[in-house]
Amino acid sequence: MQGENMSDTTTAPTDAVSSMTSWLIDRITFYDQVDPATITPEAPLTELGLDSIYVLTLCGDIEDTYAVAVDPTFFGEFATLG
């Protein structure tokens, strides 16, 4: 497969991260009832207004959508969505 264009495989992880980040922003704005434009990937998670019930629900949404189990402490381990 020499000479094959690898650009599709090198952007795939970036596209997946971007897609998941957008999905998370959509879910958070749904739960918080805020304008999606007010949340960016660089927004500190501590400032998103998610209480423990929303975090547990969001973890369930991630599991249902992406078939990945997420421990609720995940949201305390990272500073931002991005």
Rounded to an integer, what distance in angstroms lies between the CA atom of residue 68 and that of residue 15?
Answer: 18
Which tokens belong to 43?
Answer: 């927004």
Q: At what angle do helices 7-32 and 52-66 cross, to 10 degrees?
A: 140
Per-residue pLDDT reduced to its tens digit, 31-58:
888 888 888 888 888 888 888 898 899 9
What is the radius of gyration, based on Cα positions, of the chain? 15
Q: What is the pLDDT of residue 65?
A: 94
Q: In the structure, what pLDDT confidence band is assigned to residue 64 with cuts at 50, 70 and 90?
A: very high
pTM for the whole structure? 0.73
Neighbour count for residue 81 (Cβ, 10 Å):
20
Q: Does residue 41 contact residue 21 with C-beta atoms inside 8 Å?
A: yes
Q: Please determine, looking at this structure, whether the domain spanning 7-77 carries the CATH number 1.10.1200.10.
A: yes
